[in-house]
C-alpha cells in the first residue's frame, strides 16, 4: 500500500512532456507569468504581467504562487492547440510558451480576472480581453 502511494506521488510530481502537453507540480515561480515544472521553465502565452521588481509585479508573483505552487499544472505548448497558436513562438529565451491550467482553470485568465496581468492581443488574439482587466 505504501508503494502504491509513492508511485502515485511520483507520477503526480514528475513533469511529463510529450508532443501535446507538459504536466507536473510547479516547483518554482519566477514572476507573474513564468514558472517552472520540474526543470522546465514555462511562460504563459497571451498575457503580460508586470515586472517582478515593481510593486505590481510582486503582487502578481504572490498571486500566482498561491494559485499554483506545488499543484499539478497542465501546460499546452504553443502550436498544440492554444489561444496563441499562429501568433506566438513556441519558445522564448529558455522557456516553453504555453497555455496552462490548474484544476481545469486557465492560469492566464485567473491572473487577468484578479487584475495581475493584461491580455496581450498580439499573441492571444484577444482571447483574454473579454475577462476584463487591461489590454496591452
pLDDT tens track for 65-79: 999 999 999 999 999
**Could you identify the residue written with the cell 502515485?**
8
C-alpha cell at 127: 482571447
Q: pTM of the entire structure?
A: 0.83
3-class SS of residue 18: coil
Mean pLDDT of the chain: 87
CA-based max dimension of the chain: 52
Higher pLDDT among residues 134 and 13, named by residue: 134
pLDDT of 99-115, one tens digit each? 999 999 999 999 999 99
From 3.30.479.10, 2.40.50.90, 2.40.30.40, 3.40.50.1360, which CATH number describes the 2-135 domain?
A: 2.40.50.90
Spans of all domains in the chain: 2-135
Span 1-19, average pLDDT:
45
Please return the burial class of 92, using the count of CB atoms within 10 Å of its CB with bins 0-12, 13-18 and 19+: middle
On the question of pLDDT at 37 being above 80, the answer is yes
> Which of 5-14, 38-47, 66-75 is least confident?
5-14
pLDDT of 112-131, one tens digit each? 999 999 999 999 999 998 66
Return the DSSP state at 130: G
The two beta strands, 34-37 and 134-135, are: unpaired
Looking at residue 134, what is its pLDDT? 73
Amino acid at each position: 500500500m505504501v508503494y502504491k502511494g509513492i508511485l502515485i506521488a511520483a507520477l503526480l510530481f514528475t513533469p511529463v512532456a510529450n508532443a501535446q502537453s507538459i504536466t507536473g507540480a510547479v516547483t518554482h515561480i519566477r514572476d507573474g507569468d513564468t514558472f517552472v515544472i520540474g526543470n522546465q521553465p514555462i511562460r504563459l502565452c497571451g498575457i503580460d504581467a508586470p515586472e517582478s521588481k515593481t510593486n505590481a509585479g510582486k503582487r502578481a508573483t504572490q498571486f500566482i504562487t498561491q494559485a499554483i505552487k506545488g499543484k499539478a499544472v497542465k501546460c499546452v505548448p504553443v502550436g498544440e492547440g492554444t489561444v496563441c497558436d499562429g501568433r506566438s513562438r513556441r519558445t522564448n529565451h529558455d522557456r516553453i510558451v504555453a497555455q496552462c491550467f490548474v484544476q481545469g482553470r486557465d492560469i492566464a485568465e485567473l491572473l487577468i480576472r484578479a487584475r495581475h496581468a493584461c491580455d496581450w492581443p498580439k499573441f492571444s488574439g484577444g482571447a483574454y480581453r473579454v475577462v476584463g482587466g487591461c489590454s496591452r
